[in-house]
Structures are given as structure tokens and as C-alpha cells.
Amino acid sequence: MNAERQSWKEVRDRIRDQILDRTYAPGDKLPRDADIAEQFGCARTTVQRAMQDLSDTGLIERKRKGGTHVRTDPVSRATLDIPITRLEVEKSGATYGYQLIDRRKLPMPRDIAAKLEQVEPIPMLRVQALHLADHNPHIFEDRWVSLETAPEILDVDLTRYSANEWLVRNKPYTRFDLRIYAISADEKIAKMLATEPGSALLVIDRTTWIGTATITSVRSFTVPGYQLLASN
């Protein structure tokens, strides 16, 4: 008998191999799940699972009635893990430090309102803080927290605990988005990160929601040389 060490991964790999070796070229239509299942001698559910995975990674495209096709323009779909800064630092073996720079209630600026998809102005807390690695600046964060969604933040001792950590532990989000880009450090940021004005910095803007309610929007200025890693 075939002896086939069954599993949906096995099926996925074999289909992927057939795509790689051009048995099915970009644009080609693959057989229906049912036929593939029969060919492999497994249940359709198993094929479904394998196909789902190939679809998730962007190699194929599936449509009801239309069938399954090899994508003409494969997408690189990478998973990016944004860790809690403290854990990231500690994992690297360095000593983590944290320093509150500023904390005040302020009216919500226009650009923040836009990011939060917020029309009505809501009361917000602005928190600026510095994350340290081995006593050196690592990330400077400029954060706006909605006092409607997270009023309890006012009672948190932000000189000791980072707003980041409190929020992530107490206000899980249902949705977020990220914007990653590079800027030249202006004088203030440079001083904060103990680097030269004009240094190239990686900046990460991140906004989170819980349902449709906005939680926080934070701009993180990373120290020169900081890298984000992703893979599939």
C-alpha cells in the first residue's frame, strides 16, 4: 500500500512541490478538492486544510465555484511579532530600564484623531517615556491614551510601570495597525536617544482599538541600528 504518512502538511507540501516544479504553473487551475482528496486517498477536509494554508501564505487563490488557482503574483506574507519592549530587551540579555518623561491630559491633536478614526474629540492622556537597555536609551515612545476607553490609566503609577505594559495587560485590543518608516532625528529626539541630530531612526506608529473604541496610539522612535525581523 501507499503507507503515506498522512497529514494535511504532507498534502500541502506535495501540492506546493507541484507548484514549484511547474506541474501547476502560475495562473493554472488546480483540481477540485474532492479530486485531490481521492488522488491522495484522504478526506476532503484534509485537503481543505492544506489548501487553506497555501492560500494563507499567498501561493494560491481560492474562489467558490471558480476553483483554486496558482497565484500569478505571489505575495510575500510575513508575520511580524511586536513584543513588549521590556521582554525584548531582557531576551537580548540586557538590563531593562524605564523612565517617564512626561504625562499630562491634553486635547487630542488633529493628526492623532485621524489615526484613531475618531470624529468627536475625546479626553486623552499623553505619555512620553523612555525604554532603556543596559542604561542606554533604546526606544522613546510618544503615546496618546483614550481616557474614555481606559480611564483607569490615571490611577497607574507611570513613573514605575510603562503605559505600554499596563495597557497590553489590561486593555487587550481587538484590532491594531502599524506604520513603519524612517526619519531623521530632530534635536529633541536625538537628545532623548543620546544620538546625533540627523541620525536615521526606525519609527513605528501603532494604533489599537477594542471593537470600534479607540484605545491608544503610540509613536515609537527606536535607537539607531534597531531592526525589525519577520519571516514566514
- Could you say which residues in the range 17-56 bind a copy of itself, by CB under 8 A? 19-20, 26
Compute the radius of gyration of the chain from its Cα atoms.
24
Three-state SS at 134: coil
Round to whole Å and give the CA distance between 193 and 224: 9
Closest distance to DNA from the beta carbon of 12 (Å): 9
Round to whole Å and give the CA distance between 201 and 221: 7
Closest distance to DNA from the beta carbon of 38 (Å): 9
Contact of residue 7 among a copy of itself, DNA, none (CB under 5-8 Å per partner type): DNA
Three-state SS at 12: helix
The binder of a copy of itself chosen from 7, 39, 72, 95 (CB under 8 A): 72
- Could you say which residues in the range 41-60 bind DNA, by CB under 7 A? 41-46, 48-49, 51-52, 55
- Segment contacting a copy of itself (CB under 8 A): 2-10, 92-100, 120-128, 193-201? 193-201
Closest distance to DNA from the beta carbon of 76 (Å): 21
Angle CA 27–33–37, to nearest 5: 125
Among residues 63, 223, 48, 216, which one has the least CA distance to residue 147? 216
Closest distance to DNA from the beta carbon of 118 (Å): 30
